[in-house]
Amino acid sequence: MKRIWKDVDRYLEERLCGSEPEAEALDAALLANREAGLPAIDVSRSQGKLLQLLARLSGARRVLEIGTLGGYSTIWLAGALPADGRLITLELEAEHAELARGNLRRAGLERLVEVRQGAALDSLDELIADGEKPFDFIFIDADKPNNPVYLERALRLSRPGTVIIADNIVRGGEVVDGKSTDPRVQGIRKFLEQLGADRRLSAAALQTVGGKGYDGFAVAIVNGLEQDRSL
């Protein structure tokens, strides 16, 4: 990772992040996560703030997150919600889920946020079977080989206008290697094919550099009938 990427990230974060009401809870969550030995694979501070801004821009009241870790991105996203909003976040590992619950409690978010522990695919199927109302904003950030099925389930939990974001779609540039034997790269490649081919969606993706290295994210919106030019 280039030193300048890190320095610029710090420069931008010092100026644009840190005055949010949840700033202290975010720092405390990161500290708790590192002390518990969780890998530092949470979104960066700027990425978290960007997620919060995108959720606010979309007017989200109901957010679904796939991949909680210790709840760092969850706290950012919950900061976009009104007092009667709802956020469900899905996490496989019991230890991560428990830590996230503690971090969310400390942030005063336990009433707004539900951490569901288990394989995300099972939880998504439960949400669908329970007739859960559509979400306004969905953040996909778990096991990348499953991104294609997560997208399919996300669409079933969406409405026209729902925003879907996926993290880590560039993978240091490996995404262009069609022969890659890394199932995460192949999962992302299939996911991007789906995003581009599905007429229910309009999507774009951006490469990013920063303190977390070279990667990128995809943003999609579920189209309404007026966007379907085939009609």
| Positions in the binding site for ligand SAM (CB under 6 A) | 41-43, 67-69, 72-73, 90-93, 96, 119-120, 141-143
* Residue 230 CB, nearest approach to ligand SAM (Å): 34
* Residue 160 CB, nearest approach to ligand SAM (Å): 26
* Residue 10 CB, nearest approach to ligand SAM (Å): 18
Nearer to ligand SAM, 35 or 84 (CB): 35
Q: Are strands 163-167 and 213-222 parallel, antiparallel or unpaired?
A: antiparallel
Spatial distance between the Cα atoms of 66 and 143, rounded to a whole number of angstroms? 9
Cα-to-chain-centroid distance, residue 187: 16
* Residue 97 CB, nearest approach to ligand SAM (Å): 9
Please check whether residue 44 is in contact with residue 210, taking contact to mean a CB–CB distance below 8 angstroms: yes
* Residue 64 CB, nearest approach to ligand SAM (Å): 12
Measure the N-to-C terminal CA separation of the chain; round to a whole number of Å: 47
Number of C-beta neighbours around residue 158 at 10 A: 22
Spatial distance between the Cα atoms of 7 and 189, rounded to a whole number of angstroms? 31
Nearer to ligand SAM, 96 or 189 (CB): 96
* Residue 159 CB, nearest approach to ligand SAM (Å): 23
Lay out the sheet containing 137-140: strands in order across.
Answer: 113-117, 86-91, 62-66, 137-140, 163-167, 213-222, 201-210
Helix/strand/coil percent split, the chain, to 5: 45, 20, 35
Nearer to ligand SAM, 73 or 208 (CB): 73
Nearer to ligand SAM, 48 or 192 (CB): 48
Nearer to ligand SAM, 129 or 197 (CB): 129
Nearer to ligand SAM, 22 or 91 (CB): 91
Spatial distance between the Cα atoms of 42 and 45, rounded to a whole number of angstroms? 9
